[in-house]
Amino acid sequence: MLDEVADGVWVRQSEWVRSNAVVVRGDGGLIVVDPGIDGSDLSELADDVERLGPPVVAGFSTHPHWDHLLWHSRFGDVPRYATAAGAQSASEVRERAQAMAAGSATGIPLELIGILTPAPADGGPIPGEIIEHQAHCTGHAAVLLADRGVLIAGDMLSDVLIPLLDPRQPGQVDAYEEALDRLGAVAEHVNVVVPGHGAVAQGAEVMARLDADRAYLDALRRGEEPVDARLDQDWLSGPHQSNVEMARQSGE
């Protein structure tokens, strides 16, 4: 079911890690951002999108991890955009992303995974502003819809995911803090944050999400164990240990 979180911005959440697919009304039609996750989710999303009426004119992928690289033929053969670095990385990791998708969920059209084009400099049909940064993974972007007070955040500002540093890039603690500063600088225009996973944040919760991610990184920097309710989820202990290790190395 699509939930309209702001004027012309709808969210559908999947059960798998509470992934959020986002549908945005643009000038020429609808933009589908990070559709997921399994085949039944994708076809239900396609039903919901059809009911909205306007055609899908483009897709957008916030970053080249498999759960943000999916598509379904019912959304149409339209350009699927990402940052230039994101599109490049998606083509490099495509086979691995297909294998991870096949191992994690059923009914995903594997042949459509990760076929992305760099978004034009003016964003093309993607409304708002694409905010590219170096946190979490190469080519990650948020989309700011300032006129609607919405930030589509990708895998940041989540209430279920801790900040996940990219083991493939050096200096990730700094990069993550810089990215949070950039998102923080636009947060005054934002009433609604749609994270890639977890609950949509509204009102005061927007700043609380920024504060929670900053507090987690501050603790890593000091070499302390973060006090963070998200860490109650057992499956995050591996990624957390990897973050701790990266922070330790960058502090040496």
Residues lying near Zn ion in the complex (CB under 5 A) are found at 67, 155, 196
Query: Smallest distance, Å, CB 188 to Zn ion?
Result: 26
**Tokens at residue 163, please?**
């900040």
DSSP state of 114: T
**Cβ-based neighbours of 124, under 8 Å, separated by 6 or more:** 58, 79, 81
Cβ proximity to Zn ion: between 155 and 177 the closer is: 155
Phi, psi of 126 (to 5 degrees): -75, 120
Query: Smallest distance, Å, CB 123 to Zn ion?
Result: 22
Strand residue runs (E) in 95-239: 117-118, 129-133, 140-145, 150-154, 192-195, 201-202
**Tokens at residue 97, please?**
């992303």
Query: Smallest distance, Å, CB 37 to Zn ion?
Result: 9
Cβ proximity to Zn ion: between 57 and 105 the closer is: 105
Cβ proximity to Zn ion: between 67 and 159 the closer is: 67
Cβ proximity to Zn ion: between 184 and 196 the closer is: 196
Cβ proximity to Zn ion: between 156 and 247 the closer is: 156
Query: Smallest distance, Å, CB 153 to Zn ion?
Result: 11
Neighbouring C-beta atoms of residue 169, cutoff 10 Å: 14
Beta partners for residue 9, in sequence order: 6, 24
DSSP state of 249: H
Query: Smallest distance, Å, CB 18 to Zn ion?
Result: 10
Can you tell me the distance from the alpha carbon of 98 to that of 55, in angstroms, rounded to the nearest whole number?
27
